[in-house]
């Protein structure tokens, strides 16, 4: 195995990458949809946006593998960033640089790799958009053009600031390690501490701007059953897929966080309760449509939601609003699950009006 040499502009390149403030940030739909498109258009099982740091490659988005980083020594992408042209390994077993690479000889058993270097427009490559397969392959010129087009989409995203102002500012303020401490390693969305930090700021922003802010506590129904019947690995996969699917249904300004266990907190800034219901119903539908390959049989999941709003006139204490959302989540569970309970409905439920669901 050959470890890739360092590019001549390694220091400048790393400065570009760190300047982006993107390392150790949560997964984002805007990158996930591009890696999905890579898998779809090139018919490969694995695709990633890989950012190459000094000692590792970190995946901003990855499809087909449940990892978020590897060491730089074994990274195909560390080779790919050495040139500006597409880097293609048609059969890793026949390539002396990779034949003994543990990513080739062991899981995930990479045989084919194609990576387009990503730069911020200055020719310094910070990472790649790559397509990976477990069988040897060749790429046509058309295929390469497709991958280049998709890499351009990644660059467009890297050059555009994500739409939630609070998150952008928070990510910019924190050092990499501090960011990492606010992110849930399994699902790669904000963790509870991250969510609280963002929530405090969003409440202030809502207060300043006199805008509505809605929050939703979401709990995956019968999750314990998934773990018991299908094992914890699949349970983890359900959580990961849940997070990705939820993100794909939410607006780009909404914040998804793992609140604990199988419970997630969603913040919907500048969103009234009725509008939030539309977004969340869209999300529940997407969750319902997910299918998982179980031990013996395929299965699906649903989720229940309790919603609460921070009134735009008089902002209530955060704890009170979260408690209200939690009460309504419990009501949603009592109401038969796979539903949303919002303001007023909780009381209606208490009177027995919604029990029919």
Partner 1 sequence: MESQRLEYLRLTRIIDTPLEDRYEKYTRLLSRVFNCSFAAVSFVDQEREWFKSVRGAVVSEIQADRSFGKLVIESSDDIVQAQNSSLGLGHVIAFDQRPVWLVGTPILIGGVHRIGALYVGLDHDLAAREDQEVLKDMARSIKRELAQTLYHHITQDPIREAILC
Residues of this chain that interact with partner 1 (CB under 8 A) are: 29-30, 33-34, 36-37, 40-41, 142, 145-146, 149-150, 152-153, 156-157, 159-161, 163, 165, 209, 251-253, 270, 275, 289
CA distance 141 to 146: 9
**Reduced to 3 states, what is the DSSP secondary structure of residue 324?**
helix
Shortest Cβ distance from residue 255 to partner 1 (Å)?
A: 12
Identify whether the C-beta of residue 323 lies closer than 8 Å to the C-beta of residue 309: no
Shortest Cβ distance from residue 235 to partner 1 (Å)?
A: 24
Which of 163, 311 has the CB closer to partner 1? 163
In DSSP terms, 112 is beta-bridged to 133
Which of 71, 252 has the CB closer to partner 1? 252
DSSP letter (8 states) at residue 72: G
Shortest Cβ distance from residue 178 to partner 1 (Å)?
A: 25
- How many Cα atoms within 13 Å fall on the side-chain side of residue 117? 20
Shortest Cβ distance from residue 152 to partner 1 (Å)?
A: 6
Alpha-helix runs per DSSP H in 290-344: 318-334
Structure tokens at 191: 């963790």
Shortest Cβ distance from residue 305 to partner 1 (Å)?
A: 20
DSSP letter (8 states) at residue 316: P
Which of 149, 233 has the CB closer to partner 1? 149
In DSSP terms, 324 is beta-bridged to none
Which of 96, 121 has the CB closer to partner 1? 121
Which of 210, 351 has the CB closer to partner 1? 210
Structure tokens at 134: 């477990």
């Amino acid at each position: 195995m050959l470890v890739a040499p360092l590019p001549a502009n390694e220091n400048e390149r790393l400065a570009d990458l760190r300047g982006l403030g993107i390392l150790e940030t949560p997964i984002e739909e805007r990158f996930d949809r591009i890696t999905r498109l890579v898998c779809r258009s090139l018919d490969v099982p694995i695709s990633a946006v890989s950012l190459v740091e000094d000692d590792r490659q970190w995946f901003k988005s990855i499809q087909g593998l449940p990892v978020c980083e590897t060491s730089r020594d074994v990274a195909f992408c560390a080779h790919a960033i050495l040139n500006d042209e597409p880097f293609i390994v048609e059969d890793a077993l026949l390539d002396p640089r990779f034949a003994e690479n543990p990513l080739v000889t062991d899981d995930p058993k990479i045989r084919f790799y194609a990576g387009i270097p990503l730069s911020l427009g200055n020719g310094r490559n910070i990472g790649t958009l790559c397509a990976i397969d477990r069988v040897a392959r060749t790429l046509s010129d058309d295929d390469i053009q497709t991958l280049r087009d998709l890499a351009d989409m990644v660059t467009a995203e890297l050059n555009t600031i994500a739409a939630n102002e609070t998150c952008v500012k928070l990510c910019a303020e924190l050092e990499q390690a501090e960011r990492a401490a606010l992110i849930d390693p399994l699902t790669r969305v904000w963790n509870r501490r991250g969510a609280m930090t963002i929530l405090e700021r969003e409440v202030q922003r809502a207060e300043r701007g006199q805008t509505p802010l809605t929050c939703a506590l979401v709990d995956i129904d019968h999750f314990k059953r998934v773990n018991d019947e299908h094992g914890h690995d699949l349970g983890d996969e359900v959580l990961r897929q849940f997070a990705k699917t939820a993100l794909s249904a939410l607006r780009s300004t909404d914040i998804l966080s793992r609140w604990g266990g199988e419970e997630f907190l969603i913040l919907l800034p500048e969103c009234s309760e009725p509008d939030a219901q539309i977004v969340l119903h869209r999300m529940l539908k997407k969750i319902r449509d997910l299918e998982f390959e179980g031990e013996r049989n395929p299965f699906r999941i649903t989720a229940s939601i309790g919603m609460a709003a921070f009134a735009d006139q008089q902002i209530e204490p955060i704890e009170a609003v979260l408690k209200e959302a939690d009460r309504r989540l419990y009501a949603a569970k009592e109401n038969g699950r796979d539903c949303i309970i919002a303001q007023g409905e909780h009381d209606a439920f208490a009177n027995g009006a919604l029990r029919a669901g």
